Amino acid sequence: MPPHRRAALSPRLASADPGHGVTLADVALAAKVSLATASRVFSHPQLVREATAQRVHDAARRLSFRPNLLGAKLRAQQTRIIGVMLPTLDNAVFAECWRGIEEASLAAGYSLMLVTSNYDPARERERVEYLLRHRVDGLLLTVANAADSIVLDQLDRESVPYVLAYNQITAEGAGNHRYSVSVDNRVSACEGVNALIAAGHRRIAVVSGAFMASDRARQRFAGYEDAMRAHGLPVLDAVNLPSHTASNTAQIRALVAQDDAPTAFFCTNDLLAIGVISDLKRLGLRVPQDVSVLGYDGIALGALVEPPLATVAQPNADIGTQAIAQLLARLAGAPSPQGHATLLPHALRIDGTVRPPP
């Protein structure tokens, strides 16, 4: 009975609301083929004779048929939707990453559902549950702390395929069955600080977002420690700013007011670095003449400001692209059980804001 009921409605729909409400059954009827054949024309064209296919296509066009993906998804038991959870889009790092994610996904015929967690583990749980209810086929996510994440544990328990972006799986400890795409945070940070040291800096301070909110920040601090220790230089406590974007002149002032004020600042992300540079300027210090600043991330904006921001650059769009590629590979085929941390190359840009100490 289905085909006829709808067919009766078609005339109205075709004029007032083309494409909306027109089902494959309508198309089949108009093309004088069965529903099955009509379906095959779109999903398995090689199974149907050329002339028949043409008739169906014509009918589809005439009726402005638009396939309802919901029906297909429900039937197929796979949605071809990837859930993406990022901390925030306010940091350009993730916005840049999105470009790669969208590009790679749509090219592969996958759709995206985006949510942001704002670095909050509770919200992470909630948002992921939400994506799961939509039956996303897999997830691409950046969590606050990969090594201690309720949400990742849950995903593992449920064997939901996912790939981490930016979070870096480390060999030791739990979770090394996981997949991640990132740079080597510790090594790259160490190289960045080494560059500062090579420029002659001895007292180097670290400014970071809340360590609790980001394992990357902790790994980068570890890289700083490595570099300082290797050169027998004093490891200073990190200045942890609550927000990655707040201007915290007071804390910076306290630092530079010391007898033995740092001559260089390593900031664990570029946004922070830009804020710190402004703070320093407000305190009457010139960057890089009086004090050097090194960021981390390589956001496009850094190259836009003057002097250009020295930074440890990550390939942000690539991280997105690669993470999607990995996820698709897992979705498609052999879900190799032992996980893998993909490390993408970083690049040092020791540009305008770093210079030898005065």
Partner DNA sequence: GTGAAAGCGCTAACAA
Partner DNA sequence: TTGTTAGCGCTTTCAC
Contact set with a copy of itself (CB under 8 A): 16-20, 66-71, 73-74, 79, 88-90, 92, 95-96, 98-99, 102, 106, 111-116, 129-130, 132-135, 157-160, 245, 247, 271, 274-275, 277-279, 281-282, 300-301, 303-306
Q: Which does 259 bind (CB under 5 to 8 A by kind): DNA, a copy of itself, none?
A: none
Can you give 189-253 as a three-state secondary structure string?
HHHHHHHHHHCCCCCEEEEEECHHHCHHHHHHHHHHHHHHHHCCCCCCCCEEECCCCCCCHHHHH
Q: Which does 5 bind (CB under 5 to 8 A by kind): DNA, a copy of itself, none?
A: DNA
Smaller CB separation from a copy of itself, 158 or 172: 158
Smaller CB separation from DNA, 32 or 229: 32
Listed in sequence order, the DSSP H helices in 231-315 are 249-257, 270-282, 300-304
Q: Which does 33 bind (CB under 5 to 8 A by kind): a copy of itself, DNA, none?
A: DNA
Neighbours of 276 (CB within 10 A): 28
Q: Considering only residues 34-93, where is the footprint of DNA by CB under 7 A?
A: 34-40, 42-44, 47-49, 51-53, 67-68, 70-72, 74-77
Smaller CB separation from a copy of itself, 98 or 224: 98
The nearest distance, CB 76 to DNA, in angstroms, is 5
DSSP letter assigned to residue 263 = S
Smaller CB separation from a copy of itself, 32 or 286: 286
Q: In the structure encoding, which two tokens stand for residue 308, read together?
A: 């250009």
Q: Is residue 100 exposed (0-12), middle (13-18) or buried (19+ Cβ within 10 Å)? A: buried
Sequence-ordered list of residues with C-beta below 8 angstroms from that of 93, at least 6 positions apart, any chain = 166, 269, 270, 297, 299, 314, 316
Cβ atoms of residues 277 and 287 within 8 Å: yes
Cβ atoms of residues 316 and 97 within 8 Å: yes
Q: Which does 278 bind (CB under 5 to 8 A by kind): a copy of itself, DNA, none?
A: a copy of itself
d(CA 268, CA 278): 16
Count CA atoms within 13 Å of residue 263 on its CB side.
15
The nearest distance, CB 138 to DNA, in angstroms, is 18
The nearest distance, CB 343 to DNA, in angstroms, is 37
The nearest distance, CB 15 to a copy of itself, in angstroms, is 10
The nearest distance, CB 267 to DNA, in angstroms, is 47
The nearest distance, CB 323 to DNA, in angstroms, is 27
Q: Which residues of the shown chain bind DNA in the complex (CB under 7 A)?
A: 1-2, 5-6, 21, 23-25, 32-40, 42-44, 47-49, 51-53, 67-68, 70-72, 74-77
